[in-house]
Amino acid sequence: MNTSSKDNRNPLFKGLTSLAGPFDPFDVHSLPEKPGALFLEWFAQALREEVLEPHAVTLSTVDEQGRPDSRTLILKDVHGETFYFASSMESRKGHQLQHNPHAAIQIYWPALGRQIRLRGTARETGAEEGAQDFRRRSMEARAVARIGRQSEPLGSEEELEEALAESREELTADPERVAPLWRLYALEIDEAEFWQADTGRKHTRVQYRLRAEGHWEHGLLWP
Ligand SMILES: Cc1cc2nc3c(=O)[nH]c(=O)nc-3n(C[C@H](O)[C@H](O)[C@H](O)COP(=O)(O)O)c2cc1C
């Protein structure tokens, strides 16, 4: 056992600080009944405080072997306790969700010292919703998405440039074209946690859980 107190860590990791604050306290006395409402309260505050890209979230899925996988995505909308994101059905996450719809979303806003964790079941909302989301994307984003093949191995950058040029041409000729496998996914959550950092590490955690009878209950968690 190494009993020496010498710090052998890579120097890049030394002296870094986290959760330095100051942070506003999280008042847990008048919480909404359901997590969607609290999410929107926190999201509105993140916008007021000009958090950079507050809608960039981490989506976790599991593969056929039960191995977790994560990536960043844009959160597109929230209605009630349903959280929407968009991607290609033929991507790695698309295949994973088709096989196992259990998924989680995680968000961290460092400036506010806030973390949100959401767990639930994701479903794709069909071709029409997917097309509507696709049409809201920028020309460049549509051109890339129309090529498809997301997450497949790419032979060379030239191959991508060629496919992109062709895709741009097609879209210029017919701007209504969509990517047939682009989908809006709806994550219906059954659990949520709102975590507020405290600089003294006495963090405040509120967990919401959906009960079998269909009502939500919430309580505090130890930090
Ligand atoms: C800030 C940010 C936003 C992103 N938004 C999306 C998105 O909305 N949809 C998407 O499919 N990929 C998005 N990506 C790319 C994904 O992180 C990922 O690379 C891609 O979806 C392939 O993931 P997969 O191989 O797990 O399917 C985004 C990446 C970043 C860093």
Find the 92 Cα to ligand 1 centroid distance in Å.
Answer: 10
For 5, 7, 9, 22, 132, the CA distances from 15, given in Å and listed in that order, are: 16, 11, 11, 19, 48
Element (H, E) at 56: strand 56-62
Rounded distance between C-alpha atoms, residue 97 and residue 20, angstroms? 37
Report which protein residue has its CA nearest ligand 1's atom 18: 71
Which ranges constitute the DSSP H helices of 137-179? 139-147, 157-173
Find the 71 Cα to ligand 1 centroid distance in Å.
Answer: 6
3-state secondary structure of 76: strand
Q: Domains of the chain: which residue ranges? A: 31-221
Ligand 1 site-directed mutation target among 55, 74, 185, most atoms within 8 Å of CB: 74
Element (H, E) at 130: helix 127-135
Single out the residue of 222, 168, 206 nearest to residue 26, CA to CA. 206
pLDDT reported for residue 3: 56
Q: Digits of tens for pLDDT over the chain (223 positions)?
A: 555 678 999 999 999 999 999 999 999 999 999 999 999 999 999 999 999 999 999 999 999 999 999 999 999 999 999 999 999 999 999 999 999 999 999 999 999 999 999 999 999 999 999 999 999 999 999 999 999 898 999 999 999 999 999 999 999 999 999 999 999 999 999 999 999 999 999 999 999 999 988 899 999 999 9
86 burial via Cβ count (<10 Å: 0-12, 13-18, 19+): buried
Report which protein residue has its CA nearest ligand 1's atom 13: 73
Structure tokens at 182: 């682009």
Rounded distance between C-alpha atoms, residue 221 and residue 115, angstroms? 14
Find the 7 Cα to ligand 1 centroid distance in Å.
Answer: 37
pLDDT reported for residue 197: 98
pLDDT reported for residue 81: 98
Report which protein residue has its CA nearest ligand 1's atom 28: 73
Name the pTM for this structure: 0.95
Ligand 1 site-directed mutation target among 51, 60, 87, most atoms within 8 Å of CB: 87
CATH number for the domain formed by residue range(s) 31-221: 2.30.110.10
Q: Which residue ranges have their beta carbon within 6 Å of ligand 1?
A: 56, 69, 71-74, 86-87, 91-93, 150-151
Find the 211 Cα to ligand 1 centroid distance in Å.
Answer: 32
Find the 134 Cα to ligand 1 centroid distance in Å.
Answer: 14
Find the 31 Cα to ligand 1 centroid distance in Å.
Answer: 32
pLDDT reported for residue 2: 54
Ligand 1 site-directed mutation target among 57, 60, 71, most atoms within 8 Å of CB: 71
CA 136 to chain centroid: 19
